[in-house]
Amino acid sequence: MRYELYYWPTIQGRGEFVRLALEEAGADYIDVARRPGKRGVPAMTRLMDDKRSKRPPYAPPFVKAGKLVIAQTANILLYLGPRLGLAPRDEAGRLWAHQLQLTISDLVVEIHDTHHPVTTYLYYEEQRPAAKRRTADFWRYRVPKILGYFERVLARSSGPHVLGRRLCYVDLSLFQIIEGLRYAFPRRMKRFEKKVPGLVALHDRVAKRPRIAAYLASKRRLPFSQWGIYRYFKELD
Amino acid sequence: MRYELYYWPTIQGRGEFVRLALEEAGADYIDVARRPGKRGVPAMTRLMDDKRSKRPPYAPPFVKAGKLVIAQTANILLYLGPRLGLAPRDEAGRLWAHQLQLTISDLVVEIHDTHHPVTTYLYYEEQRPAAKRRTADFWRYRVPKILGYFERVLARSSGPHVLGRRLCYVDLSLFQIIEGLRYAFPRRMKRFEKKVPGLVALHDRVAKRPRIAAYLASKRRLPFSQWGIYRYFKELD
C-alpha cells in the first residue's frame, strides 16, 4: 500500500507526528503537498474542496489509503498504527495508545497557545503580555502535570517504551514533543528535563533508531521555524 | 454490560457527550461520582491515583467496562459507539464518525477559551478584554468555519443524520454543542442559526427522541452553569 500524506509543505506541524510513523516503519508514502507545481499544495486543496466528496476532511493533515481519506492526526495514527507495526493489534492496547495520543494532541494545542493565547488572528507581537502570562502558567502548572503523567506511564510500563517492550507511535510523538519544547524553550526545557529522566531517555532512544536518524539527517525533515506549533521568543524562554 | 461513567458530578462538561450516548441507547450505567459519600468523587480519585494501575487515565471523563478503563471523550465514544448501536460497524464508518468527533473536541476547547483565553489560572474578570477579543474572533471566523463544515457534511450525507439514515453519537454531540452555544451566547446564536438550518433541524430531531427527551426532563441532566465549558457573560454575547 502506498500512502499519500497531505499536509502543509513548509512546517513540521501536526503532520510531523504522521511523518515520523511512516518513516520509522519504512512505509511507501508520498508527501503530496511537497511536490512541485500543481501536483503539490493545489492537489491538497482540490481534495479538500471536492464538492462530490461525502467525507471531506476539515483540515490537514490527512492521509489517503486507497479510497479511504482519514483526517485528524490521532485518528490517522489510530488507523496506521497496527498496519505499520507501531501499535498493538488487540483492542484494549489500541485504545490505550490512542488515549495517550489524544492527550498529546491536547498538549500540542497548549504549546501553540503559549505564543498566541488571545487569538490566532493577531500577531504574537500584538499579544506579548498575555503570551508571557500564559507561558509562565504553562511551565509552572501544565508541563509538570502533563509530562509528569507521561513519565509515570513510562515508569509503570514494563519498558523501555510507553507500551512496554515494543516501540509504538506514541513514543515517536513524545520524541517530537521534546524536540519541539527544546526548540521553543531551550533554557526552560534544560532545567525541566531533570524531572522527566525517563522521557529524555526515551527521546534519545528514538533519535538513535536507524530509520529515524536517517530521516532526521535528510531533507525530508523540515527544520523548526517561527511558523509552526513551536516558536522561539527569547522573552518567553 | 453495566458501564461505569466517571466524571465531575456538578457540571455537564465533557462527560455530557458520553451521558447523551448512554442515555439514547438506554444503556445500563452508573454515574459513579454522583453517588453520595465515599462511593462518589472519592471513588473516582481513588481510581485515578491508583499506583498499581498500568494504564491510569489522565483526567475525567473515563468509563470502566469490565476490566477496561477508557479515557478521553472521543476515545470513549469510539469504544462505546458500535456497542450501543450509535456508530457504524465497518472500519471506514467508525473512523469517519471518530474524525468528526475529534473536530467537535477541538471546537469544545475553542468554546471554553472564549471566556478564559489567557490562562485558566486567572478568573474571567481578570482577563475580560482578552475574552472580548477572543469571542469576537470566535464568532467572526471560527463558528462560521467549523459549524459551516458540519452543515456541509450534513447536506452531503444521505440524511437526516450526519452519517445518513441512522443516528450516530456525533449527532448527539452536535445537539449538545448547539444547546451549549445557546446557553452561553443566546443573542449571537439566535442570529447565527439562520446560517446552519440543517444543524438546527438535527438538533430539534435529537431533542424529540423519546429517551433524550426523557433524559433532558430528568434530574440526571445537570443544568448549564458558570463552571462548565459554556458560560454566559452579557458583555461577551
A197 in Cβ contact with A147 (< 8 Å):
no
pLDDT reported for residue A87: 98
CA dihedral sign, ordered A55, A60, A66, A68: negative
Mean pLDDT confidence for A114-133: 96
Task: Report the percent of chain A where pLDDT is more than 70.
Answer: 100
pLDDT digits (tens, 9 = 90+) for A39-77: 999 999 999 999 999 999 999 999 999 999 999 999 999
pLDDT digits (tens, 9 = 90+) for A131-189: 999 999 999 999 999 999 999 999 999 889 999 999 999 999 999 999 999 999 999 99
Q: What confidence tier does B215 reach under pLDDT thresholds 50, 70, 90?
A: very high
User: Among A195, A166, A164, which residue's Cα sits nearest to residue A178?
Assistant: A195
Burial of A46 (0-12, 13-18, 19+ CB in 10 A): exposed
Q: Give chain A's domains with CATH numbers.
A: 3-83 (3.40.30.10), 91-209 (1.20.1050.10)
Residue B98 sits at the chain A interface (C-beta within 8 Å): yes
Query: Closest partner residue to A98 among B54, B75, B119, by Cβ?
Result: B75
Which of A58, A75, A122 has its CB closest to that of B95? Answer: A75
Q: How confident is the model at residue B40 (pLDDT cuts 50, 70, 90)?
A: very high
pLDDT of residue A94: 97
| Interface predicted TM-score of the whole assembly (ipTM), two decimals | 0.97
Strand partners of residue A30: A4
Per-residue pLDDT band at A96 (split at 50, 70, 90): very high
At A24, give phi and psi (nearest 5°): -60, -35
Q: Does position B158 have pLDDT exceeding 90, yes or no?
A: no
Among candidates B175, B7, B149, which has minimal Cα distance to B86?
B175
What does the pLDDT average to over A11-27? 98
Contacts of B56 in chain A (CB under 8 A): 149, 152-153, 156
Kindly report, residue by residue over B60-98, the tens digit of the pLDDT. Answer: 999 999 999 999 999 999 999 999 999 999 999 999 999
Shortest Cα distance, chain A CAs vs residue B200, angstroms: 20
Per the structure block, which three cell numbers stand in for A138?
A: 504553562
Whole-angstrom distance, CA of residue B168 vs CA of residue B154: 12
Are B33 and B7 a contacting pair, CB within 8 Å? Answer: yes
Model confidence at A84: pLDDT above 90: yes
Q: What is the pLDDT of residues B98-129, one digit of tens each?
A: 999 999 999 999 999 999 999 999 999 999 99
- What is residue A140's predicted lDDT score, i.e. its pLDDT? 98
With a cut of 90, say whether residue B222 has pLDDT above it. yes
Looking at residue B115, its pLDDT comes to 97
Q: What is the mean pLDDT of chain A?
A: 97
Round to whole Å and give the CA distance between B205 and B154. Answer: 13
Q: How far apart are CA A194 and CA B87, in angstroms?
A: 44
**Cβ separation of A72 and B96 shorter than 8 Å?**
no
Confidence at residue A97, expressed as pLDDT on a 0 to 100 scale: 98
Q: How confident is the model at residue B2 (pLDDT cuts 50, 70, 90)?
A: very high
Question: How far apart are alpha carbons A89 and A87 in whole angstroms?
Answer: 6
Cβ proximity of B46 and B189 under 8 Å? no
Query: Which residue in chain B has the smallest CA separation from A149?
Result: B58
pTM of the entire structure? 0.98
Alpha-carbon distance values, B215 to B11, B26, B36, B138, B180 (Å): 15, 10, 21, 31, 16
> Looking at the predicted structure, is the pLDDT value of residue A202 above 90?
yes
Residue B159 pLDDT greater than 90, yes or no:
no
